[in-house]
Structure 1
Amino acid sequence: MTQPTPHVARARRRGLYLVTALLALATLAGCGAPATLKERGGYWADQSANAQAYNHRVRFLVIHYTGGDTQRAFNVLTGPNVSTHYLVTPQPPRQSGEPVVYQLVPEAERAWQAGVSHWNGREQINDTSIGIEIVNQGPVDTNRLVQWYPFADGQIDAVIALARDIVARYDIAPANVVGHSDIAPGRKIDPGPLFPWQRLHAAGVGAWPDANLVAQYQRRFVTNPPSLYQTQVKLAHYGYDISATGTMDAQTKRVLRAFQMHFRPSDYNGYLDAETQARLWALDDQYR
């Protein structure tokens, strides 16, 4: 007898598997549906076979502050114009000794929290992110941005617990845990310079430049600093929306200020210096 070709043999096996599955369904028809068969009102979905070629929709975690009190936050975030997946209040209530956060949008749904945004080559970050809003007043002086409301320790503990869970479940890279100001420089300034990014990093969430690596780069850059063009290229490589023009233009000042608010919050004047460059180069080495 002539042996079938490999393609024919595979097709026959697939056909056999399909017939077997259909016979199994027919056999079970009178005995109740199996656990993998889901009725959806007009049709049934068989979930017994699982594909391997897919990944998570969620790539980014975006941190915000609300810019108002708790009541205003609930009013705005449950209204028709803006939303977020999670809201963390200043003094989170506790259940069985653990903080309670408010989930306003299911994680599988697209919350309206990032707006016009860009990070690491992707636009419209709403499509691929989960948002956490933290109730905080933000800057006291909105013109000079020199005085900010602090975050409460219990509030940050709740943010850490929530963020650590999200990052673990979606395998979000440290450099993709960002502030609203990172993905929309100049348009947004939250969560501001008082948000404790280094504390989150110590708890296993997000990126932070290694002090020894920063020191090495800073010693090098004191005498031989990278050009402004090279710095713009490096900022873009790390994730920021910036064009390499070689000039200290408005977009560069906005991005530098956002970077400094996140990674050098003691001085976020938007000007380029060796320390800022050293932190950027260290971060790019560590995470990109």
Structure 2
Amino acid sequence: MTYAFCMPLFNHNKSMLRLGVIALAGVLLAGCASMPAGQRSALAEWKPSPNHALRKPSIIVLHYTVEDTLDGSHDILSDPKRKHPVSSHYLLDRDGRLLQLVPDHLAAWHAGVGNWGAMRDLNQTSIGIEIVNTGSEPFPDAQIDALIALLGDLTTRHDIPRSQVIGHADLAPGRKIDPGQFFPWKKLADAGFGIWPQGELIDPPPGFDPWMALRVIGYRIDNPRAALHSFRLRFRGIDDGDRGTEKSASNIAQENAQALPALQPEDLRILYALTRQQ
């Protein structure tokens, strides 16, 4: 009698256990779908993109969209059927509206080939922010104010050094020029983000090596013209048109054996100031 009574009770308990496990799994899956706590910004509306992979962020990369609208940019950044799918973690409109497309702890496909200092696979180490801008217009104050707020949020939550905010052109000289010559890097620096020369700019001493200075800052210098172009875009707001082109290693070596591009006095002063701040 006791044995006959206990068997159904045991089976009932197993059924309840299964239901509990299923319910718990559902909660966990729902949590994954809505993103783990601390992996998204409370400042942004969550509109996910499937184009991502897992990693830990340690630097932030800024882009402009070229596409003129938020919706058009979102369509591009969340289309898995493109030949080369692209995405970013955040998409920032001109009026300050902010969308999050990919969780912070996953790798969005925004950086492509390039490096910054010792960092090589920037998709795996960075948070990407796409800013709605055609590349030929100023950035509205509302947009930059929202960006500064987002940078404060990201650097705090992920313990990213505030200096580790760069542009796409910085990591991919000769291949990319965004966020372009109109981006207000000094305004970001005044808010404490990125690097910017501080104090009075003075001429460097004899023997100062500007190409080594570019390398110390983080630029790759295997294509000096491209590195100088990206440097001027960021620190002088100048697009001199001499981007260099992506060349084979042998072509670059041949060009480097010839005369290096000439640096202007302002280039040298800025480089000297930046290296003294390292």
Task: Give the TM-score normalised by the residue count of structure 2.
Answer: 0.68
Q: Any residues of structure 2 matched to 1:1-288 within 5 Å, and which?
A: 57-70=56-69, 71-80=71-80, 81-92=85-96, 100-138=97-135, 148-212=136-200, 214=201, 216=202, 218=203, 220=204, 224=206, 226=208, 230-243=209-222, 251-266=223-238, 268=240, 271-286=262-277, 288=278
TM value normalised by structure 1: 0.66
Give distance in 1, aligned partners of 2:178 and 2:239: 16
**Distance change (3 Å), C-alpha of 1:267 and 1:211:** farther
Matched letter for residue 74 of structure 2: F
Structure 2 unaligned regions, length at least 5: 1-23, 27-54, 243-261
Q: Over the residues paired in the alignment, what is the CA RMSD in angstroms?
A: 2.0
- Give the distance between the partners of 2:232 and 2:162, measured in 1 at CA: 17
Cα deviations by residue, 1:49-93 (Å, 9 ceiling, x for unpaired): xxxxxxx9321100000001223201101112000000001123x
Query: For the residues of structure 1 that align with 2:140 and 2:228, how far apart are their CA atoms?
Result: 27
| Structure 1: gaps of 5 or more residues | 1-38, 42-55, 93-99, 139-147, 244-250
Aligned letter for 2:63? H
Deviation of the 1:225 alpha carbon: 6.4
Large movers: runs of 4+ above 6 Å? none
SS in 2 for 1:110: strand
Aligned to 1:10: none
Cα 1:207–1:128 change in 2 (3 A) is: same
Identity across matched positions, percent: 42
Q: How many residues align?
A: 203
| 1:99-132 residue CA offsets vs partner (Å, 9 max, x unmatched) | x410000000000000001011111101000010
CA distance in 1, matches of 2:129, 2:56: 17
**Distance in 2 separating the partners of 1:238 and 1:253:** 16
1:173 to 1:274, Cα distance in 2 relative to 1, 3 A: farther
Q: Which amino acid aligns with 1:121?
A: A
Counterpart amino acid of 1:194?
F
Amino acid corresponding to residue 262 of structure 1 in structure 2: R
Shift of 1:234: 1.6
